[in-house]
Amino acid sequence: MDLNRLPNDKKLQLCRWYFKVGCILLPFVWAVNAVWFFKEAFIKPPFEEQKQIKKYVLMSAGGAAVWACSLAAWVSVFQTRRVTWGAIGDSLSFIVPLGQA
């Protein structure tokens, strides 16, 4: 879809909809929203809906960044401590590796 063909009120509506969908624990949609509407929010000449689009773009980028940091922290903790957690660590694993490193 080409955003240049949409009127500004429809851009705001679409940006808001992507943000709300991302709130249903879909951080990839937040990342797409932040990238897709970045140009509309920060580079294009000012228009009436731009301030609201900018707000949704910043919240989407922040939410995606928090999710990415949280996921990276969980993966690093799980990978380094799975063996010491014993049976709980094994039950959380999709593939249980044999032995210890």
**Mean pLDDT in residue range 40-45:** 93
Spatial neighbors of 56 by CB under 8 A, at least 6 apart, are 15, 16, 18, 19, 33, 37
pLDDT of amino acid 90: 83
**Model confidence, pTM:** 0.82
Question: In the predicted model, is pLDDT for residue 49 greater than 90?
Answer: yes
Question: In the predicted model, is pLDDT for residue 37 greater than 70?
Answer: yes
Q: What is the Cα–Cα distance from 24 to 1, expressed in whole angstroms?
A: 23
pLDDT of amino acid 51: 95
> At 30, which amino acid appears?
W
